[in-house]
């Protein structure tokens, strides 16, 4: 699948991870090989316990692999200090979580501006950029609202705007529609497709088949190994935003 | 050299980073209850410490004031009644001092002695023109002025010439002059005391209050002359050379007591025939008492401070726990461990300092408003010196920082994955 010419945004080889549970060792990832090229929209499928979230955490440098090689944008991710990991996360990755994880005492604009703060941008630039991304997700008018004043779908859109604001190489979404009803799920997926169409590489972890089919490629995990990896005909969701 | 430079730059960067402060103010503004709770603990801790410590100083002040009006290097010799029979004398004999005692003390204790005066206290009807009232009189020698710290406002005190010639010269207290002479200048005027006329040669003030300023001083020889030319004395006050120090003063006191007991034929073991009051010793005892009090007060104050510090660290642990998820999110978004520690620490130091200063100002304001309002509880002009106040403050902030640092460090170690795990 790989050609020498095209740089893989993500390149992992024989990735292994196990957790200690009491005295026994739980092998969660048993050797994963995966390449993701720029501009892909990949769904990582699997039932709970298949290892999909662990994979995403390792990809997001939130967790470390026991064994194997992980290249992110041609940078070997290995033995990083906390500080370097934080800087890489800030530079390369954007996160979207199932439970949104917005900071509840900051309004939408401030939430979106936060990664820019850690990138060292000045206040004016932060605010202008954050507003730009809020507009992109259709929530410009909600900029001054606190998360508690937003609906689930709106919160997730703010979270997506926040993930996008730092202009990451890869967007990692962990069950982004897990806490949403089907209508808002479609809205969010439509937004994700739109962002992907603009060229962003996106990984979506999900256990819902219909959500997976809104992506361009489905990687299926089972018991810590990839059992299926196929390109699919993308179901385009109508533009609701 | 370079390291110091970078460190300074880093510190300055933190101190003056507008974004950092904005971030902190925002956090504080949006977590008012939390901020208020931790702040109140600090403010209260400092406030109580300052007030207690100030009260301790107020106590010391009032002890000092007890002795303000007397010279501290004096011994007061007071005769009493014997309680033991001795050398043919029965018990319960009244001891009297007389002029020869003065001469004998002068002759035998030249090495120790600085001054000596007898004192004969009487009370008499005093008249001037239409005004009259009862006043206490004291018949003394010139040295008395120094021992009672009598301040002459105008004229002079009793002098040796008055003693030798048994003159009818008197020195009156400020309030005697005010009562009898109104706005008249009393110097040179004649007062009628009992049935004789006395010439006012001076008037004085005394720091220990109204009672002392209603006194009239006269030569003791004159008093004795009026009282049928006797040579009796109520009491004797001697002052010793201050450079001798406390231990020599005790020796002097002991020898003087022995000497007088022998002269008056009092059993050396009889504690009642003659008593000597040592002002230096009393002050020493009182100051020791005050110091012990202050130590107790300081102990209580430090206890309060420690309680405050424990309160802060408790709250900081709670704060970090409460913010685990938020800090996890921040880390996922690219917050470095250093920035997480910095944020938690700077916030805790800022809150501690702000409320600490508030509590300190409150405490100092209370102390300075008390003044002499608590005089009946022996607290006069309570205060706290800047050094102690600042020290307590620095200590509190330092411990606030330490209290904040441990949970902050833990917060920085939080793995984002753990913090973000959906429950």
Model confidence pLDDT, tens digit, residues B350-394: 888 888 889 888 988 888 887 777 777 777 777 888 888 888 778
State pLDDT tens for residues B60-81.
777 776 665 566 788 889 999 9
Reduce the secondary structure of A50-114 to three states and give it as a string: CCHHHHHHHHCCCCCCCEEEEEECCEECCCCCHHHHHHHHHHHEEEECCCCCCCCCCCHHHHHHH
Give yes or no: residues B133 and B56 share one domain.
no
Indicate the DSSP class of residue B95. Answer: P
State pLDDT tens for residues A104-138.
888 999 999 999 988 888 889 999 999 999 998 99
Which sequence spans correspond to the domains of chain A? 40-62+83-231
User: Is residue B342 within 8 Å of residue B21, measured between CB atoms?
Assistant: no
* pLDDT on residue B6: 61
Give yes or no: residues B133 and B24 share one domain.
no
Domain finish residue from B203, B237, B271: B237
Whether B253 is in a domain gets the answer no
Judge whether residue A15 has pLDDT over 70: yes
Q: What percent of chain A has pLDDT over 70?
A: 96
* pLDDT on residue B10: 57
Which pair of tokens denotes residue B243? 């450079």
Asked if the C-beta of B303 comes within 8 angstroms of chain A's C-beta atoms, the answer is: no
| Distance (Å, whole) CA B52 – CA B366 | 11
| Distance (Å, whole) CA A120 – CA A113 | 11
Give yes or no: residues B304 and B369 share one domain.
yes
* pLDDT on residue B169: 93
Instruction: For residue B34, give how far its alpha carbon lies from the nearest alpha carbon of chain A (Å).
Output: 13
| Distance (Å, whole) CA B121 – CA B223 | 10
What integer best gives the mean pLDDT of chain A?
Answer: 88
Give yes or no: residues B223 and B295 share one domain.
no
Cα distances from B298 to residues B284, B301, B398, in angstroms, run 21, 5, 19
State pLDDT tens for residues B116-127.
999 999 998 998
> Is the four-CA dihedral B242, B243, B244, B245 of positive or negative sign?
positive
Whether B71 is in a domain gets the answer no
**pTM, entire model:** 0.63
Domain finish residue from B197, B212, B237: B237
The answer to whether the Cβ–Cβ distance between A166 and B333 falls below 8 Å is: yes
Give yes or no: residues B58 and B134 share one domain.
no
**B99 burial class (0-12, 13-18, 19+ CB within 10 angstroms)?**
middle
* Chain centroid offset of residue B357 CA: 26
What integer best gives the mean pLDDT of chain B?
Answer: 82
* pLDDT on residue B376: 72
Instruction: For residue A82, give how far its alpha carbon lies from the nearest alpha carbon of chain B (Å).
Output: 7
* Residue of A53, A62, A63, A119 to mutate, interface with B, max B Cβ within 10 Å: A62
* pLDDT on residue B344: 80
**B161 burial class (0-12, 13-18, 19+ CB within 10 angstroms)?**
exposed
State pLDDT tens for residues B158-215.
999 999 999 999 999 988 888 888 888 889 989 888 888 999 999 998 877 778 888 9
> Nearest residue of A to residue B413 by CA position?
A82
User: B330: which chain A residues are within 8 Å (Cβ-Cβ)?
Assistant: 103, 114, 118
At residue A241 the predicted structure's pLDDT band, cuts being 50, 70 and 90, is very low
| Distance (Å, whole) CA B400 – CA B17 | 22
Whether B329 is in a domain gets the answer yes
State pLDDT tens for residues A156-186.
999 999 999 989 989 999 889 888 888 889 9
Give yes or no: residues B324 and B396 share one domain.
yes
* pLDDT on residue A3: 46
Nearest to A86 by CA among A53, A102, A62, A107: A62
Judge whether residue A2 has pLDDT over 60: no
Domain topology for A40-62+83-231: Rossmann fold (3.40.50)
Asked if the C-beta of A89 comes within 8 angstroms of chain B's C-beta atoms, the answer is: yes
Asked if the C-beta of A91 comes within 8 angstroms of chain B's C-beta atoms, the answer is: yes
Give the residue numbers spanning the domain of B32: 20-65+285-420
Give yes or no: residues B339 and B411 share one domain.
yes
Across the interface, of A57, A90, A105, the residue whose CB is closest to B333 is A90
Judge whether residue A229 has pLDDT over 80: yes
Whether B192 is in a domain gets the answer yes
* pLDDT on residue B13: 58
Judge whether residue B32 has pLDDT over 60: yes
Reduce the secondary structure of A133-180 to three states and give it as a string: HHHHCCCHHHCCCCHHHCCHHHHHHHHHHHHHHCCCCEEEEECCCCCC
Across the interface, of B26, B416, B422, the residue whose CB is closest to A62 is B416
Q: What percent of chain B has pLDDT over 90?
A: 15
CA angle A126, B336, B399 (to 5 degrees): 110
At residue A239 the predicted structure's pLDDT band, cuts being 50, 70 and 90, is low
Bridge partners for B7 per DSSP: none
User: B27: which chain A residues are within 8 Å (Cβ-Cβ)?
Assistant: 105
The answer to whether the Cβ–Cβ distance between A123 and B326 falls below 8 Å is: no
The answer to whether the Cβ–Cβ distance between A90 and B334 falls below 8 Å is: yes
User: A62: which chain B residues are within 8 Å (Cβ-Cβ)?
Assistant: 332, 415-417, 420
| Distance (Å, whole) CA B189 – CA A167 | 103
Across the interface, of A82, A90, A122, the residue whose CB is closest to B337 is A82
CA angle A95, A100, A106 (to 5 degrees): 100
* pLDDT on residue A4: 47
Whether B95 is in a domain gets the answer no
> Nearest residue of B to residue A98 by CA position?
B422
Asked if the C-beta of B354 comes within 8 angstroms of chain A's C-beta atoms, the answer is: no
| Distance (Å, whole) CA B261 – CA B95 | 10
Q: Which residue has the higher pLDDT, B147 or A70?
A: A70
| Distance (Å, whole) CA B231 – CA B118 | 11
Whether B380 is in a domain gets the answer yes
| Distance (Å, whole) CA B37 – CA B355 | 10
Q: Which residue has the higher pLDDT, B349 or B283?
A: B349
* pLDDT on residue A161: 94
Instruction: For residue A1, give how far its alpha carbon lies from the nearest alpha carbon of chain B (Å).
Output: 31
Whether B245 is in a domain gets the answer no
State pLDDT tens for residues B258-302.
999 988 888 888 888 888 888 777 777 777 877 787 788 778 777
Q: Is B264 left (phi over 0), alpha (psi -120 to 50) or beta?
A: alpha
* Residue of B31, B332, B335 to mutate, interface with A, max A Cβ within 10 Å: B332
Nearest to B399 by CA among B339, B323, B343, B316: B316
What's the CA dihedral at B141, B147, B149, B154 to 10 degrees? 10
User: Is residue B418 within 8 Å of residue B410, measured between CB atoms?
Assistant: no
Judge whether residue B15 has pLDDT over 60: no
Judge whether residue B415 has pLDDT over 80: no
* pLDDT on residue A129: 93
Judge whether residue B422 has pLDDT over 70: no
> Nearest residue of A to residue B326 by CA position?
A103
Please tell me the total count of domains within chain B: 2
User: A60: which chain B residues are within 8 Å (Cβ-Cβ)?
Assistant: 332
* pLDDT on residue B7: 59
> Nearest residue of B to residue A164 by CA position?
B333
* pLDDT on residue A35: 93
Give the highest mean pLDDT range of A120-134, A225-239, B315-329.
A120-134
| Distance (Å, whole) CA A23 – CA A26 | 10
User: Is residue A208 within 8 Å of residue A98, measured between CB atoms?
Assistant: no
Give yes or no: residues B214 and B303 share one domain.
no
User: A117: which chain B residues are within 8 Å (Cβ-Cβ)?
Assistant: 19, 23
Interaxial angle between packed helices B245-263 and B279-322, expressed in degrees from 0 to 180 and rounded to the nearest 10: 140
* pLDDT on residue B52: 82
At residue B138 the predicted structure's pLDDT band, cuts being 50, 70 and 90, is very high
């Amino acid at each position: 699948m790989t050609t020498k010419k095209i740089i893989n945004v993500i390149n992992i080889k024989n990735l292994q991870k196990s957790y200690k549970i009491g005295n026994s060792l739980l092998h969660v990832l048993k050797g994963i090989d995966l390449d993701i090229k720029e501009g892909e929209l990949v769904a990582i499928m699997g039932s709970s316990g298949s290892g999909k979230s662990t994979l995403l955490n390792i990809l997001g440098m939130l967790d470390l692999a026991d064994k194997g090689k992980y290249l992110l944008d041609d940078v070997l991710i290995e033995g990083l200090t906390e500080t370097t990991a934080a800087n890489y996360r800030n530079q390369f990755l954007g996160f979207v979580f199932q439970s949104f994880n917005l900071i509840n005492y900051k309004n939408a604009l401030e939430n979106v501006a936060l990664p820019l703060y850690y990138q060292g941008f000045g206040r004016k630039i932060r605010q202008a950029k954050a507003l730009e991304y809020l507009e992109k997700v259709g929530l410009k008018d909600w900029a001054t609202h606190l998360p508690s004043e937003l609906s689930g779908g709106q919160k997730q859109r703010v979270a997506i705007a926040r993930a996008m604001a730092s202009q990451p190489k890869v967007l990692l979404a962990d069950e982004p529609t897990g806490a949403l009803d089907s209508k808002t799920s479609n809205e969010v997926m439509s937004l994700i497709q739109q962002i992907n169409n603009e060229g962003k590489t996106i990984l979506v972890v999900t256990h819902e088949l219909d959500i997976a089919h809104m992506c361009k490629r489905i990687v299926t995990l089972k018991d810590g190994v990839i059992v299926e990896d196929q390109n699919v005909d993308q179901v385009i969701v109508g533009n609701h935003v | 050299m370079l390291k110091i430079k970078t460190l300074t730059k880093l510190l300055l960067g933190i101190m003056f980073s507008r974004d950092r402060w904005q971030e902190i103010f925002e956090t504080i503004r949006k977590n008012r209850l939390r901020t208020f709770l931790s702040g109140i603990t600090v403010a209260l801790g400092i406030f109580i410490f300052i007030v207690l410590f100030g009260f301790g100083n107020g106590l010391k002040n009032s002890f000092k004031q007890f002795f303000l009006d007397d010279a501290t290097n004096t011994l007061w010799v007071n005769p009493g009644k014997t309680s033991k029979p001795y050398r043919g004398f029965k018990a319960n004999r009244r001891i009297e001092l007389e002029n020869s005692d003065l001469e004998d003390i002068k002759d035998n204790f030249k090495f120790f002695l600085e001054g000596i005066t007898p004192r004969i206290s009487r009370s008499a009807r005093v008249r001037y023109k239409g005004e009259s009232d009862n006043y206490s009189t004291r018949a003394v020698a010139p040295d008395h002025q120094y021992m009672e710290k009598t301040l002459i406002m105008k004229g002079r005190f009793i002098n040796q010439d008055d003693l030798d010639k048994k003159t009818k010269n008197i020195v009156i207290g400020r309030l005697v002059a005010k009562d009898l002479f109104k706005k008249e200048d009393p110097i040179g005027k004649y007062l009628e005391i009992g049935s004789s006329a006395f010439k006012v040669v001076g008037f004085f003030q005394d720091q220990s209050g109204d009672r002392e300023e209603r006194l009239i001083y006269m030569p003791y020889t004159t008093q004795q002359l009026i009282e049928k030319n006797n040579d009796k004395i109520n009491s004797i006050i001697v002052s010793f050379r201050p450079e001798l120090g406390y231990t020599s003063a005790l020796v002097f006191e002991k020898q003087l007591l022995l000497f007088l007991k022998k002269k008056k034929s009092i059993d050396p073991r009889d504690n009642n025939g003659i008593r000597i009051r040592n002002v230096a010793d009393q002050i020493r005892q009182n100051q020791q008492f005050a110091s012990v009090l202050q130590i107790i007060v300081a102990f209580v104050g430090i206890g309060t401070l420690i309680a405050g510090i424990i309160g802060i660290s408790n709250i900081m642990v709670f704060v970090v726990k409460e913010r685990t998820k938020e800090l996890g999110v921040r880390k996922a978004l690219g917050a470095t461990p250093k920035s997480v520690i910095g944020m938690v620490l700077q916030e805790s130091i800022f809150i501690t300092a702000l409320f600490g200063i508030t509590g300190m100002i409150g405490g100092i304001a209370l102390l300075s408003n008390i003044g002499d309002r608590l005089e009946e509880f022996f607290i006069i002009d309570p205060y706290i010196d800047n050094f102690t106040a600042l020290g307590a403050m620095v200590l509190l902030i330092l411990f606030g920082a330490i209290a904040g640092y441990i949970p902050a460090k833990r917060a920085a170690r939080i793995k984002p994955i753990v913090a973000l795990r959906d429950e």
